[in-house]
Amino acid sequence: MSKIKLLSPRLANQIAAGEVVERPGSVIKEILENSLDAGASRLEIDIEGGGIKLMRVRDNGIGIEKEDLSLALSRHATSKIYQLDDLEAVATLGFRGEALASISSVSRTTLTSNTNDSGHGWQAQTEGREMDADIAPAPHPHGTTVEVRDLFFNTPARRKFLRTEKTEYNRIEDVVKRLALSRFDVSFVLRHNGRAIHNWRGGETQAEMERRVAQVCGPAFMENAVHLDIERAGFRLWGWVALPTFSRSQADLQHFFVNGRAIRDKLVGHAVRQAYQDVLYHGRHPAFVLYLQVDPASVDVNVHPTKHEVRFRDNRSVHDFIYRSLHHALADVRPTDQLTDAQQANGVLHAPSSPQVPVQGLAAGEFQGQNQIGFSSSSKSAQSAGISSYQQQAPAPGAVAEQLKGYGQLYSSQTAANSGYTPGTPSLQQLNESNEEIPPLGYAIAQLKGIFILAENAQGMIVVDMHAAHERIIYERMKEAFDLQGIRAQPLLVPQTLALSEKEADCADSHAEIFQKLGFELQRAGPESLLIRQIPVMLNRADVDQLVRDVLSDLIEHGSSERIRNHINEILGTMACHGSVRANRKLTLPEMNALLRDMEATERSGQCNHGRPTWALQTLDELDKLFMRGQ
């Protein structure tokens, strides 16, 4: 066996570079983070050859003193932490003290800085050799410039693993975009091969932030995004989440920041997926730009060499906070929110002169003899959300529960005769002339092929998939009634024995209350076995053994689980699908209008249970362009 020897500083730096400097994008990330920590408000990034030939970052931060230049290029040298207590509550982006040393060991690095406005700075140069940096005076404005040339010139084994110039540049651009989203107050300029690519000005107002997000993520994201800002129990979550209809085939538009640091965390990803569980089409990925602010002492950022991952001290609280915040934010989105702002901007939404809007729906007796449709003028969720005056009072919770008794056996297959406008249904022209309020989804004018409802609102034409919309309405009412009635459980005549690991059995013991609330009764039968004595009535045909294992896995990994509730929701969704109005079912205009009013009052009504959109708007301008009017 070989003798133990002390590594040379150069080899130690190159080994460290293998962890920190993976590719040119890694270099840019480390340098930009140092610049942000230095208080820079403007960053200029110049790239040549995808970063392999040249990377130059110039900032206007506080700068580095002459005597600290060579120290900045040394290993384990940093201005971010001085003692162990500092490491337990890190508030800066870079703190390891290895980045510049690792970069300089595998490239030709020049570090130029000035701490005042005199214009006279100092420069340190290294070329990956085992020697001290050369220090010389150099002209430089207030701030620091780091220039990295010929990356991996002295480690050809690493250089051959680099990709094409375009690929490496794209990685660099992704890094710059993430940091641009993390600091709205900082201006970013990115140039590649002498050509200006991005020039993002800093700003701190809501409009300036949204402009930056649109520049980085695209204007389509902002057009389909919902802003949220929720603070509770020491946590704050704010940012933008895209509507479920704006989903992606890949998880390429997901940005999550913890205390300003961009991370990719399994806990966060699980919480976001759960929040979109009920509204996202299968195989699609949500888009979001979210910021979580927590006490720095409650999160450990020193768990990964590149600081892409963090560890929360209370995983369960963080997971539940993110999940519930996003869940409620998505549930509160209704057609009213999506259309009202645009209507007001166009000056076509008139405020009602009086609250005496023509009575419609059940209150006007329009559905006598048509109870098989099951529409109502509103719902409990509408009442709690403060829906405006054209919607009627919600039925009592007991009435809803009674109406949904039996789950799914809600509507018979009788067909109502189709009819035209009734005297109680006003036209948009009449409403405009009387300055009365127009509902966001307007009023129905026809049914197309027994599948779609055509409606006219203040902006143009609304097309509604009646089956998908009705399916969501029934599904939400079923969940509401199910919550009111609680989870009914049934004891098993012969208890089921479940063999699992001791860790899983211990987890079941410690979370016995959670299982009890969900309708399960689990009893410890041995060190590595459980007895299932009781299960929810609705899951009597489910694979209970696998479901309990999956729930225990979630509890061990994330501290919480929604699997049982999601499984119940799947059953309710199937019932809602079979209980909703089918294609070729002829609806009367009052029935269509009642469906539109229910959509405006129902949570998540923009998507059916499977994530498909339920309605679409064709504005008058879009119709004009379609027929080339005015051209």
Q: What is the CATH number of the domain that holds 49?
A: 3.30.565.10
Supply the pLDDT for residue 340. 52
Single-letter amino acid code for the residue at 171: R
Residues 236 and 358 in one domain: no
Residues 593 and 492 in one domain: yes
Residue 541: which domain range? 354-631
* Residue 88 contacts residue 68 (beta carbons within 8 Å): no
Supply the pLDDT for residue 148. 96
Q: Report if residue 340 sits inside a domain.
A: no
* CB neighbour class for 229 (10 Å; exposed up to 12, middle 13-18, buried from 19): exposed
Phi and psi at residue 180, to the nearest 5°: -65, -35
Q: 10 Å Cβ neighbour count for 304?
A: 13
Q: Strands 615-619 and 460-465, how do they pair?
A: antiparallel
Please give the tally of structural domains in the chain.
3
Residues 455 and 488 in one domain: yes
Q: Which of 96-105, 120-129, 572-581 has the lowest mean pLDDT?
A: 572-581
Supply the pLDDT for residue 3. 82
Domain boundary among 159, 179, 200: 200
Domain boundary among 182, 200, 218: 200
Cα distance between residue 112 and residue 100, in whole Å: 13
Supply the pLDDT for residue 519. 83
* Of 628, 625, 619, 621, the residue nearest 461 (C-alpha): 619
Residues 423 and 533 in one domain: yes
Which pair of tokens denotes residue 203? Answer: 């700003």
SS3 annotation, 441-506: CCEEEEEECCCEEEEECCCEEEEEEHHHHHHHHHHHHHHHHHHHHCCCEEEEEEEEEEECCHHHHH
Phi and psi at residue 207, to the nearest 5°: -65, -40
| 156/176: higher pLDDT | 176
Phi and psi at residue 270, to the nearest 5°: -65, -45
- Residue-wise pLDDT for 243-271, tens only, equals 888 888 899 999 999 999 999 888 899 89
Residues 218 and 92 in one domain: no
Supply the pLDDT for residue 318. 93
Q: Report if residue 456 sits inside a domain.
A: yes
Q: Report if residue 346 sits inside a domain.
A: no
C-beta pairs of 518-524 under 8 Å, 24+ apart in sequence: 518/487, 518/564, 518/565, 519/487, 519/488, 519/489, 519/564, 520/489, 520/548, 520/564, 521/489, 521/491, 522/548, 523/495
Supply the pLDDT for residue 213. 97
Which pair of tokens denotes residue 480? Answer: 């509401």
Q: Report if residue 389 sits inside a domain.
A: yes
Residues 256 and 218 in one domain: yes
Supply the pLDDT for residue 323. 92
Question: What mean pLDDT do residues 65-84 have?
Answer: 83
Residues 175 and 218 in one domain: no
Q: Report if residue 345 sits inside a domain.
A: no
Residue 141 has pLDDT above 90, yes or no: yes
Give the CA distances from residue 585 to residues 422, 470, 573, 580, in Å, rounded to whole numbers and listed in that order.
20, 12, 20, 10
Residue 591 makes CB contacts below 8 A (sequence gap 6+) with: 367, 370, 373, 375, 416
Residues 367 and 297 in one domain: no
Residue 300 has pLDDT above 70, yes or no: yes
Over the chain, what is the mean pLDDT?
80
Residues 150 and 242 in one domain: no
Supply the pLDDT for residue 56. 97
Cα distance between residue 23 and residue 3, in whole Å: 33
At residue 218, the 3 state secondary structure works out as coil
Single-letter amino acid code for the residue at 493: L
Which CATH number does the domain housing residue 487 bear?
3.30.1540.20
Residues 425 and 494 in one domain: yes
Residue 374 has pLDDT above 60, yes or no: no
- Residue-wise pLDDT for 563-572, tens only, equals 777 777 877 7
- Highest mean pLDDT range out of 342-346, 394-398, 430-434, 442-446? 442-446
Domain boundary among 149, 184, 200: 200
Residues 317 and 270 in one domain: yes
Q: Report if residue 44 sits inside a domain.
A: yes
Phi and psi at residue 448, to the nearest 5°: -110, 120
Residues 183 and 40 in one domain: yes
- Could you tell me what percent of the chain has a pLDDT over 90? 42
Query: Confidence class of residue 435 from pLDDT cuts 50, 70 and 90?
Result: low
Q: Which of 322-326, 405-409, 576-580 has the lowest mean pLDDT?
A: 405-409
* CB neighbour class for 205 (10 Å; exposed up to 12, middle 13-18, buried from 19): exposed
Q: Report if residue 627 sits inside a domain.
A: yes
Q: Report if residue 618 sits inside a domain.
A: yes
Residue 324 has pLDDT above 60, yes or no: yes
Query: Confidence class of residue 561 from pLDDT cuts 50, 70 and 90?
Result: confident
Which CATH number does the domain housing residue 261 bear?
3.30.230.10
- Highest mean pLDDT range out of 103-117, 273-287, 416-430? 103-117
